[in-house]
Chains A and B, each alone.
Chain A
C-alpha cells in the first residue's frame, strides 16, 4: 500500500508542480540552483571534468579566464609577457586572500602547478610545462620544454590553491595534498581557494551550500549573490518543473524536449549556445578482440545513425559528428560526414567474420550529458541490427567515473570539451596511446594506439606556423576517422534557464563554466 501511495504521490506531485505559482524568493540574494549533478569531489585536481571546473570557478580563481568572445581576461594574473621562446613571465594580483585567511603569493601558484603535474587527470595537459618558478611574491615564470603556443589557454586551468592550507598531514596521518581518485582524502572534503564562494555544506548528491567570501578580492565584480543553495536534480522533467514552479532560480542543462516549454514561459528566460562538446563511444580493444579489427569498428560507426539521434532524441539541439573537432577548430576536416549505412555495416561485419555478431557490455552515465542514457539505449538498439547484443548499464556520474577509470565495459560513453579550445587536446586525452606516466590517453577507454599519430600531434604542438599546424591536426582527424578509432555521435548544444530576475546571460560561455561570482540577481 505504501508503494502504491508513493507512486501515486510522485505522479500527482509532478503534475502539480507546474500548477503551483512561482513562490517569492526567500532571501533576495540567495540563488537556488539545480544542475543535473553535483561535483564528485571538492578536490579540483581529482578529476578533469566539467563539474569540477564549474566548482573551480565558484570557489577558486584561475590565473586568466576566457571571456564570452573567447579572449583572455586577467584574474589572479594581472599581466603577462613572453620573455623568450619558452618562458613567460606573469605578474600576480596583490592583496588577494584565501578563504583560510592565508595571503596569496607566487609560492601558491608554483605549488599548484606542481600538484597539477602529479594529478593523473591533469598531468597530460601540463606535460609541456617544464617548470614554474617564483621570482618574487608577485611574479612567476613559466618555462615550457619547447615553444608552446597554447600556454595562456593552459593558464585558464591553473586555479591557485592555498598551499599552506593543503600542507601537512590530516587526522589519519595522510598528507593533505594527496590526490585520491574516487576515494577519501583531505582535499576531497576540504577546500580553500581565492574564489567568490566558500563551501558551507556538501551532502553528496543531495545538497551543496555556498556562502559569499567576505574577503573576496574582486571589488569590481557586479555579482550580488550572497548565498547559493545547489540541489542536484537528475530527472530532466523534475528539474524543469522545479524552475517553472519557482522552487529554483537557475537550472542546467535544459533537456531538448522541454526547450519550447521553457521558451514560452513568461517568468523564465532561456539561453542557448551551440556547443563544442563532442559525445563519443569508446570501443575497448583490450577487452574485445573483435574491436582490434578496423572493419568491425567501422561497421559499428556505419551502424549508428548519428543524424537520427541528433534529430529525434536531441530534437535538433545537437550537431551530428563524424570527427572530434567542431567547426572552427584547427583540426576540423570539412569533408567528413556521418557515415550511417546499415548495409555497409552488415557487409563489413561479414567480411570481418562476425556476421553472426557477438555480445558486448556497454556503460553510460545517466546524469552527465544531455539525454545520455537515452542515447545509449538508442545505440544499443542500432547495434542489434548488426547482430550485436548489448548489455547496457547506465549509472549516475558519481559511480560512472569510477567504472570508467576501471574500463569496466566494452563500450563506454564520454563527452569531451577541448580544455585548450584546440583539436590536439581531443587526441591527447581520448585516442593517444595510454601512458600512465605522461598522462596521455587518460580517458582513452578504446585502448586505441597509433604511435604515428602521437608523434604527429606532438610535432603539431611545436609548430608555430598555424596553417601547417592545422594541416597536421586535420591529418590526425582523418586517420582517426578512417580507422574508426571511436564512434563519434554529436556535438552537444548548451542550454541554461533561469528566473527572469536572474541575469545569467552575461556570465555564461561556450565552455559551460558559469561565472557565478559575477551573477546579478535583480532586486524587485
Chain B
C-alpha cells in the first residue's frame, strides 16, 4: 500500500479556494464592474475591427456630415450610430479609438509610476539613511509640481525642440512619460512605509544572516509582502491617470485634435454643449465616467479584500 503523496495545490485550485474569489462571488458591484470593465477594454482593443471608420484618417471625414445626432434623435443618419462631431467624425469610432488611447495612457503611465515608485520606495525604505532622505526629498519636490505643470513644461520643450508634428506623432508616449513622472511619489511613499514595517521582521534578519544580497532581500523577500497596497494604489492610479489625460487633452495640452482621445473629444464638443449638439461632449463624457467609475469600484473592492483589518470581518 502506498500512501498518496500530498499534492501541492495547483495555482488554479489555490485561487479557487482563495478569499479573493470568495468575496468576489458575493459582491455584485465588483462583478458588474468587472464585466463592464472587460467589455470596455475589449471594445478598445478591438477598435480597429469594430469601428465603422478610422477617425484618425482625415480623408474619411466629410464636413457635410458634421453634427449628426445619435440614432435615437430625429435627423440622424444610420451610418453614424452615435452621431458625428463638428468635423464630421463618426462619434462611435472616435470613442472606441479614444478609449483605446485613454487606456493605453492610463496603464502605461501607471506602469511607469510603479516602476519608479517601487524601486525608489524599496531603496529608500531598505537602505534608509542618506539614500532615504535624498529619495524622499526628491519625492517631495516632485509632488510640489502638479501634473499640469510637468505637462506644460515637457510639452513646450518638445514642441520647441522638435516641432508640433513630432509632438503629435509621439503624443501617447509623451503623455505616459508626463503622467508617469508626475505621480511616482504616491507609490514610493506607500512602498517605503511598508518596507519600513517589514524590514525589522525576523524573516528579513534570517535572510540577511544567510548572506543574501541586499538586492535579493529587497526584491525576493520584502517586495512580495508589500504587494497588496501596491495593487490597491494601482487601481486608483489607473483611474487618476485616465482622468489626468482627459484633463490635459481637454485643456489642449494632451492628444492633438486630429487624434482625439476621450478628453479631447469632450473638449471639441464643449462649444456645442448648450447649442443643440450635446452628444459630442455627453456621450464620450459618459464613457469616461463609466470607465473611471468601474476601475474605482474594483479598486475599492480590492482594498476591502486586501485590508487585514477588514479581513473576513
Contact = CB atoms under 8 A, between A and B. Distances in A.
A393 interface: yes
Given A2-B146, A7-B246, A381 B87 contact: yes
B63 A313 contact: yes
Interface in A360-390: 361, 374, 377-378, 380-385, 387, 390
A237 B61 contact: no
A377 B257 contact: yes
Contact of A255 (B64, B258, B271): B271
B204 interface: no
B247 interface: yes
A390 B151 CA distance: 24
B168 interface: yes
A335 interface: no
A236 B274 CA distance: 11
B271 A308 contact: no
A237 B168 contact: no
Contact of B247 (A6, A235, A381): A6
B86 interface: yes
Contacts of B165: 361, 391
Contacts of B275: 237, 255, 257-258, 260-261
A383 B248 CA distance: 28
Contacts of A374: 86-87
Contacts of B247: 3-4, 6-7
Interface string A292-332: 00000000000001001101110000000000000000000
Nearest to A261: B275
B163 to A, nearest CB: 8
Given A305-B64, A378-B87, A384-B57, A258 B243 contact: no
A507 interface: no
B63 A381 contact: yes
A309 B164 contact: no
A1 interface: yes
A391 B275 CA distance: 30
Interface in B137-185: 146-148, 163-165, 168
A257 B257 CA distance: 20
A10 B251 CA distance: 11
B67 A258 contact: no
Contacts of A236: 271
A153 interface: no
Interface size, A (range): 35 or more
Interface string B181-220: 0000000000000000000000000000000000000000
B270 interface: yes
A18 interface: yes
- Of B57, B64, B244, B271, the most chain A CB neighbours within 10 A belong to B271
B243 A4 contact: yes
A312 B148 contact: no
Interface in A189-239: 235-237
Contacts of A383: 58
Nearest to A7: B247
Contact of B273 (A14, A308, A309, A378): A14
B258 A3 contact: no
A306 to B, nearest CB: 10
Nearest to B250: A7
A392 interface: yes
Interface in A93-129: none
A241 interface: yes
Interface in B66-89: 66-67, 86-88
Contacts of B244: 3-4
A391 B66 CA distance: 22
Given A313-B66, A381-B61, A261 B164 contact: no
A399 B138 CA distance: 35
Contacts of B285: 11
Nearest to B165: A391
A4 B247 CA distance: 7
Contact of A257 (B61, B163, B168, B272): B272
B63 A378 contact: yes
Contacts of A240: 274
Given A377-B257, A381-B87, A384-B57, A3 B146 contact: yes
A382 B86 CA distance: 14
Interface string B2-32: 0000000000000000000000000000000
Nearest to A10: B250
Interface of B: 57-59, 61-64, 66-67, 86-88, 146-148, 163-165, 168, 240, 243-244, 246-248, 250, 257-258, 270-277, 285
29 contacts: A1-B240, A3-B244, A4-B240, A7-B243, A11-B285, A14-B273, A235-B270, A236-B271, A237-B271, A237-B273, A257-B275, A257-B277, A258-B275, A305-B64, A311-B64, A312-B66, A312-B88, A313-B63, A361-B165, A377-B87, A378-B63, A378-B87, A381-B59, A381-B63, A384-B58, A384-B59, A391-B163, A391-B164, A392-B164
> 10 tightest A-B contacts by CB?
A384-B58, A391-B165, A384-B59, A308-B63, A381-B58, A381-B61, A3-B247, A7-B247, A257-B275, A393-B164
Given A255-B271, A378-B63, 15 more contacts: A2-B146, A3-B147, A3-B243, A236-B271, A237-B274, A255-B275, A257-B272, A260-B276, A309-B63, A312-B66, A313-B86, A381-B58, A381-B61, A383-B58, A391-B163
Interface of A: 1-4, 6-7, 10-11, 14-15, 18, 235-237, 240-241, 255, 257-258, 260-261, 305, 308-309, 311-313, 361, 374, 377-378, 380-385, 387, 390-393
